[in-house]
Structure 1
């Protein structure tokens, strides 16, 4: 094989894993940056200038750490940027960590592409997770695209035995008919910190994280920490380092969005998880008693009364299906091996989740100004609507063999629901200095290493967030001819990261 490509859902996990691999493989001074490549996100807009095209990473390294977003963009995104990396996927070992985070609408396209990489490109693909989604043809439509799994595809000879041996937590279903108030969740957290020394609370939205963190800060002060995707990777890493240094030495509570629940090597005595999909609950449980230092850790599943996740469809559907299967478990725990996050209940959860969302797996889209409904799977395969329209107009079938609408599919494809814009943030002295150097670097050779470094000081903003900060005149271009932006210092909090409103003067002085 030519290289190993490690595909991860969250940038926070890339930081941690790439650092460990560098310690092993980049042992000589001259090896630094030449063996392990990190490619988090592109600092720049979708439409690049000629200078930015020269700065694109093309995954030309023995070990590549990247995100699922970048992997899917390389295969299905429009333009030439992703295509420049696609050939690197051949003759490679491709490891998908936390595969359960695969966007539901990309399921069939992902399965088809993986089959192609293995069968035609000589690659080897490994799907890693404690909560394996059901991607074989027994569970999803083979004609649309299911993984061609062999009877010996499972690397673990006895999955149930492995789960039994690694069981380190008790998952407690603490759902209430009217839900939990924020004050009640804060009280439970404080009690867990007092009793066991540490507690992680995983929530579903950045708003929930800020609200609960505000409540806990009043009680726990400096023992309380906050993590979210509104913070740049360097900021999150600093907070995680502080949390790890305090664990088992001093009381600590950490409020985080779901970025912490997959792959982050950290060990809390107890975990509170806001209700979400059962896979998310199981992943959050993996941060509790992770190193087996205690007889058993406690994981509390709570349903917040006021958290609004209506716009987060995957989380909302997962929450509803988790409600269903947890109710099933309550009626007959023995049927599921008396384990709320064991393989039998997880399989039942995925069967419920995938059955109701099978129509979403083909990547539904609206075509152009006509508003006609189709899906990317059709556009990239037989393209029946376009062929039918051609036949209607010309009274004959198109004579060309390749009938796909590649350009339209590339234009419509977005691996996440709302395309984000990356913004470099002035976190700490290093972040401020980096912005200054980028503003003064007009030579591409000087910009290239700076932009690589900038990935550690960048935050991806949703369109409404970007527009709001532009209206506040808080976002500036690095240079006139580029689509690379940086954030005004007054809009970056040392506690929460990017703020849509100016932070107070006291915190600004602290930063």
Structure 2
């Protein structure tokens, strides 16, 4: 490839630097810095914003320090460039609430009222930051919480009849935390949610017409009848090393245990789940 044929050469580079295309993919930083304080090169992008449609995906990821600036720049883009700005997020970022001059949201679907009613009837999730993380955030200092201590704190926070979820980064971490948690349980040996799954599948078969929820309910009863452990805690360890069909059944069973409107043999037990980030991929569950 010659220098003239390289995409960073000549007209191709100019088109990229000036956003002269039907669709442009860029970053928060490039977009908002180009509007807020453009240098010579960045200012060449501004004409492309005229009457444009700007889609800000996952706008909740905008850094907190930028919230006031982003709300003002959003209003500026709409006023000066006649741009349409669409914020796409599932977590209701609050930075737009700080800009009183923005117009009311425009409905893009016929289900707008239902979409608004859902977050209004379900308050935001609030997080309590652990001391180990509070020490780490300002300047990257502090020591990580040892797995042994994490297990002790999780156990103390999960008495009988309550539930807890620990999300870890790796399969090895999930195994280590589960080992620490199960070793610390007294009295009795904790019941592993997956402990009787193989035997259940070998001794029973899915009945004609049985859906996943029915199979999950049958498995929970089987687990209660056949588990050799006699502890007061139900454990679930979820990783991608579990076969998909098995993981699907375990998730359905765990969801029934967590459902306060559904009766299971483990309603009076403490329920503790340790999972990798697979729990974040479309799994709809609520823990204490």
Per the normalisation by structure 2, the TM-score is 0.41
- Which of the pair is proportionally richer in strand? 1
